[in-house]
């Protein structure tokens, strides 16, 4: 019973195959968001877009590092579930998930305002890429939040 | 030991004095945000501000209802900690905390853009009130998130 509960609680926690999937998704979506926003588009004149680029630049290394830990745990078979490390992972996940959500919402609000009041200044090519970037940031946030919830649940039931 | 853990986990959960304090704070800050944004200011021309007003209008009744439940629990002494009810409270808290954070971030991003590009259109009187409203929304989000975390922790350790 106790072991069954533990296994259920650890479904998406660090070191499981589910966690590896979430981390890969985060890395892919945040990279896509960063590329759509930064390559060939003038993002630096809007604070919200600079914030988005900064946060996505933080999410990518964080997700890649934890994906490597997951790969090691899944394929070599040494789950790294020390309470101290789990605590750092949970705090990092929460902070990054809050920041990426803030960045995605701010960018979406700015894009909406640009489309409404600056129809002439916001060409479809630019605004379409801004929108794609914000959408990718929302997807990346969603996966980061899922990771944070799974790990928090695991720590709380530890 | 077990009882001590339960009492520790329930520090800010529904039915405690800590929860009552958080709920009163949420109601006060969200009302302040709603009033600063809606009284005497043209908020309806910006999507983000309409969203803020809507969400604050949802947070106020939610916080007031749960504050009444807390008052009943603290002063009459009947903690309403049925698992089904706690689950609804946790889900409601999370949804409202995510939505109020989104509203606060979007409004802050729009205010920043207005100050930067529409210096002439955004009079200090209007923009000052927008800023106060966004600040109050952030404070309301912070307390809602605290409630959500305390209740989630309580449910996870139940």
Gap between the Cα atoms of A112 and B154, Å rounded: 39
Per residue in B52-75, is it b (16+ CB within 10 Å) or e — as a string?
Answer: bbebbebbbebbeebbebbeebbe
* Mean pLDDT in residue range A20-27: 94
* Mean pLDDT in residue range A57-64: 94
Q: Output the DSSP codes for B17-82.
A: HHHHHHHHHHHHHHHHHHHHHHSSS--TTSHHHHHHHHHHHHHHHHHHHHHHHHHIIIII------
Query: Pick from B107, B112, B156: which is nearest to A47 by CB?
Result: B112
Gap between the Cα atoms of B144 and B96, Å rounded: 7
Question: Each residue of B102-118: pLDDT tens digit?
Answer: 999 999 998 888 887 76
A46 contact residues in B (CB cutoff 8 A): 113
Contact B110 A105 (CB under 8 A): no
For residue A142, the Cα-to-chain-centroid distance in whole angstroms is 7
Q: Output the DSSP codes for A127-156.
A: HHHHHHHHHHHHHHHHHHHHHHHHHHHHHH
A102 contact residues in B (CB cutoff 8 A): 101, 105
* Mean pLDDT in residue range A40-50: 80
For residue B3, with 0-12 CB atoms within 10 Å meaning exposed, 13-18 middle and 19 or more buried, which class applies?
Answer: exposed
Q: State residue B121's pLDDT score.
A: 64
Question: Each residue of B32-65: pLDDT tens digit?
Answer: 999 988 887 777 778 888 999 999 999 999 999 9
* Chain A to chain B Cβ contacts (< 8 Å): 53
Gap between the Cα atoms of B147 and B92, Å rounded: 11
Gap between the Cα atoms of A105 and B105, Å rounded: 6
pLDDT-derived band at A117, boundaries 50, 70, 90 = confident
Are B94 and A152 in contact, with CB atoms under 8 Å apart?
Answer: no
3-state class percentages of chain A: helix first, strand second, coil last, to nearest 5: 80, 0, 20
* Mean pLDDT in residue range A124-130: 81
Q: Which H or E element spans position B150?
A: helix B124-156
Which residue, among B50, B55, B21, B18, has the nearest Cα to B138 in the 3D structure?
Answer: B55
Polymer length in residues for chain B: 158
Q: State residue A121's pLDDT score.
A: 64
| DSSP code of residue A20 | H
Gap between the Cα atoms of B106 and A104, Å rounded: 9
Per residue in A133-156, is it b (16+ CB within 10 Å) or e — as a string?
Answer: bbbbbbbbbbbbbbbbbbbbbbbb
| A residues 83..142 contacting B (CB < 8 A) | 98, 101-102, 105-110, 112-113, 116
Q: How far is A76 from chain B (nearest CA, A)?
A: 30
For residue A92, the Cα-to-chain-centroid distance in whole angstroms is 11
pTM for the model? 0.82
Helix (H, G, I), strand (E, B) or coil at B120: coil
């Amino acid at each position: 019973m106790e072991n069954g509960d533990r296994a259920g609680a650890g479904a998406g926690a660090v070191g499981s195959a589910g966690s590896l999937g979430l981390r890969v998704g985060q890395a892919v979506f945040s990279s896509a968001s960063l590329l759509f926003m930064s390559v060939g588009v003038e993002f630096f004149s809007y604070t919200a877009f600079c914030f988005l680029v900064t946060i996505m630049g933080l999410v990518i290394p964080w997700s890649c590092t934890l994906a490597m830990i997951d790969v090691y745990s899944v394929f070599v078979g040494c789950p790294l579930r020390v309470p101290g490390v789990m605590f750092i992972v949970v705090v990092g996940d929460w902070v990054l998930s809050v920041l990426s959500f803030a960045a995605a919402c701010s960018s979406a609000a700015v894009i909406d305002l640009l489309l409404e009041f600056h129809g002439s200044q916001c060409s479809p090519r630019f605004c379409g890429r801004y929108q794609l970037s914000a959408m990718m940031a929302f997807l990346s946030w969603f996966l980061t939040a899922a990771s944070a919830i799974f790990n928090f649940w695991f720590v709380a039931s530890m």
